């Protein structure tokens, strides 16, 4: 009998042999319930989205209300309360002047929109030769073509497509004086061609959970301001409390010209993303000539259900001690994950807010499979990738659950280091 799931094609998955997927039937709090009557503690918040845990009653109530009233309406020429309110609330959270919100359906698309805004900004300013972007090694900005072209070609999961993508300029993050010099040189060399500089503030996530200091971001910002190059922050992963402040850049003395938000924007319920531009950039699009208008418009743009979810999520950030919970998680991870450094192949343990990562030398896909299964056996949902085993739990996770996650990580490492084949 062919199984129903034979028609599915999963992300980043070799479908040939290993197709015995975990099947979820419901969720609640930090738990994912499976069809075999077992449950898993979600150690990664469904790809860093479910910051309030699952099925939060306030989220459900608000989404339900919107579902009955108006699940969707096209955004071309029609606006609605949920979008207006959300755009207003997002701009209130951001520094003054960063206040023009363009909605889209996913993080990758919000990046595409940021790139198009920067390109068209220069076209509108009669400098169309400025059409290259500077990005950083280990960057990950999404899976669509424009986004792929500004990901690290090796670490960004898109090596196969390099001959198809347009070429941009990769720099090293200026983490020491040598790298700073080469970054400065690159900017000087290309400044007349650069439409923008794009960076993930304070931690490069899918490119390997690599943390950098506020100073690094400040150097990038200083140089971009000096040369009048729009600075784009990708806070799709870091936004909404994950690093300990509402947005990661708040821990630095920098302000972007464009910022992309996604993932936890709707508290892990419905896909929605946003690209927010400065007043200055936005103004270059205002003209009696229609061709100055931004040429982008996703069909489900600003979907009212998704916007209501995002509004409900922001309610919870206002009413609940989310940033304190992140701090508690950070403290716990800092105290308890460090001992992993004692394992031979562990090269680094990095903690930033509610994100804890164990970096392992030459982790093979065989080993990744082994770890995944071991974690499931222990009742934990954790999904190692590249060279890392990491956790990004829901902010509402309780102490006991967090303990279980961390202990499982340590126990699995112990077990793994005692097995000769590894």
Ligand X SMILES: *Cc1c(COP(=O)(O)O)cnc(C)c1O
> Could you tell me how many residues of this chain bind ligand X (CB under 6 A)?
15
Least Å distance, CB 234 to ligand X, is 5
Catalytic residue among 130, 263, 352, 372, which? Answer: 263
155 binds ligand X (CB under 6 A): no
Compute CA distances 69 → 3, 66, 256, 365, whole Å: 37, 5, 36, 47
Catalytic residue among 105, 143, 152, 234, which? Answer: 234
Considering the complex, state which of residue 166 and residue 364 has its C-beta at the smaller distance from ligand X: 166
Q: How far apart are CA 193 and CA 167, in angstroms?
A: 12
Least Å distance, CB 263 to ligand X, is 6
237 binds ligand X (CB under 6 A): yes
Confirm whether 263 is a catalytic residue. yes
Catalytic residue among 121, 140, 332, 390, which? Answer: 140
Binding part of the chain for ligand X, among 17-25, 139-147, 225-233, 248-256 by CB under 6 A, reads 139-147
136 binds ligand X (CB under 6 A): no
* 277, 257 Cβ separation under 8 angstroms: yes
Q: Phi, psi (5° rounding) for residue 23?
A: -115, 120
Judged by CB under 6 A, which of 43, 156, 239, 262 binds ligand X? 262
Considering the complex, state which of residue 173 and residue 412 has its C-beta at the smaller distance from ligand X: 173
Binding part of the chain for ligand X, among 26-34, 100-108, 177-185, 219-227 by CB under 6 A, reads 100-108
Q: How wide is the angle at C-alpha 9 spanned by C-alphas 7 and 15, nearest 5°? A: 105
Confirm whether 42 is a catalytic residue. no
Confirm whether 35 is a catalytic residue. no
Nearest to 321 by CA among 52, 28, 60: 52
157 binds ligand X (CB under 6 A): no
Considering the complex, state which of residue 205 and residue 382 has its C-beta at the smaller distance from ligand X: 205
* 385, 401 Cβ separation under 8 angstroms: no
CA 112 to chain centre: 14
Considering the complex, state which of residue 237 and residue 382 has its C-beta at the smaller distance from ligand X: 237
The two tokens of residue 13 are 């998955």
Judged by CB under 6 A, which of 115, 170, 206, 272 binds ligand X? 206
Q: How far apart are CA 336 and CA 212, in angstroms?
A: 21
Judged by CB under 6 A, which of 54, 103, 140, 183 binds ligand X? 140
Confirm whether 234 is a catalytic residue. yes
Residue 7: Cβ within 10 Å count = 7
Nearest to 208 by CA among 139, 148, 145: 139
Residues 6+ apart with CB under 8 A from 255: 95, 98, 221, 249
112 binds ligand X (CB under 6 A): no
Terminal C-alpha separation, the chain: 37
Least Å distance, CB 237 to ligand X, is 3
Cβ-count burial of 48 within 10 angstroms (0-12 exposed, 13-18 middle, 19+ buried)?
A: buried
141 binds ligand X (CB under 6 A): yes
Q: How far apart are CA 248 and CA 232, in angstroms?
A: 13
Considering the complex, state which of residue 171 and residue 202 has its C-beta at the smaller distance from ligand X: 202
Binding part of the chain for ligand X, among 64-72, 96-104, 161-169, 232-240 by CB under 6 A, reads 232-240
The residues binding ligand X (CB under 6 A) are 106-108, 111, 140-142, 200, 205-206, 234, 236-237, 262-263
Catalytic residues, by residue number, are: 12, 140, 234, 263
């Amino acid at each position: 009998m062919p199984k129903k799931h034979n028609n599915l094609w999963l992300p980043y998955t070799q479908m040939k042999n290993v197709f015995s997927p975990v099947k979820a039937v419901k969720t609640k709090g930090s738990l994912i319930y499976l069809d075999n009557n077992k449950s898993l503690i979600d150690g990664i918040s469904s790809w860093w989205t479910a910051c309030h845990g699952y099925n939060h009653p306030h989220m459900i109530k608000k989404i339900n209300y919107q579902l009955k009233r108006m699940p969707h309406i096209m955004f071309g020429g029609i606006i609605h309360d949920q979008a207006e309110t959300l755009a207003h609330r997002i701009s209130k959270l951001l520094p003054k002047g960063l206040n023009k919100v363009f909605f889209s359906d996913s993080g990758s698309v919000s990046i595409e929109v940021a790139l198009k805004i920067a390109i068209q900004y220069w076209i509108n300013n009669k400098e169309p030769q400025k059409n290259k972007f500077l990005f950083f090694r280990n960057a990950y900005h999404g899976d669509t073509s424009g986004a792929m072209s500004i990901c690290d070609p090796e670490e960004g999961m898109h090596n196969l497509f390099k001959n198809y993508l347009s070429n941009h300029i990769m720099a090293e993050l200026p983490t020491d004086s040598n790298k700073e010099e080469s970054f400065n040189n690159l900017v000087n060399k290309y400044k007349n061609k650069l439409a923008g500089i794009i960076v993930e503030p304070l931690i490069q996530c899918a490119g390997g959970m690599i943390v950098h200091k506020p100073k690094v971001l400040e150097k990038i910002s200083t140089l971009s301001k000096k040369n009048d190059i729009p600075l784009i922050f990708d806070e799709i992963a870091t936004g909404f409390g994950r690093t300990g402040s509402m947005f990661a850049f708040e821990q630095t003395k920098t302000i972007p010209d464009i910022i992309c938000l996604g993932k936890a924007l709707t508290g892990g319920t419905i896909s929605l993303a946003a690209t927010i531009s400065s007043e200055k950039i936005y103004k270059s699009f205002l003209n009696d000539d229609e061709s100055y208008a931004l040429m982008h418009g996703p069909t489900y743009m600003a979907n009212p259900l998704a916007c209501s979810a995002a509004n409900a999520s922001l309610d919870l950030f206002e009413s609940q001690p989310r940033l304190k919970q992140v701090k508690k998680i950070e403290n716990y991870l800092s105290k308890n994950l460090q001992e992993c450094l004692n394992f031979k192949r562990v090269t680094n343990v990095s903690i930033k807010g509610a994100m804890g990562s164990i970096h392992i030398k030459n982790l093979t896909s065989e080993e990744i499979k082994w770890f995944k299964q071991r974690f499931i056996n222990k009742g934990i949902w954790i999904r190692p990738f590249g060279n890392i085993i990491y956790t990004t739990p829901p902010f509402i996770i309780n102490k006991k659950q967090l303990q279980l996650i961390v202990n499982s990580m340590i126990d699995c490492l112990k077990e793994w280091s005692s097995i000769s084949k590894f």
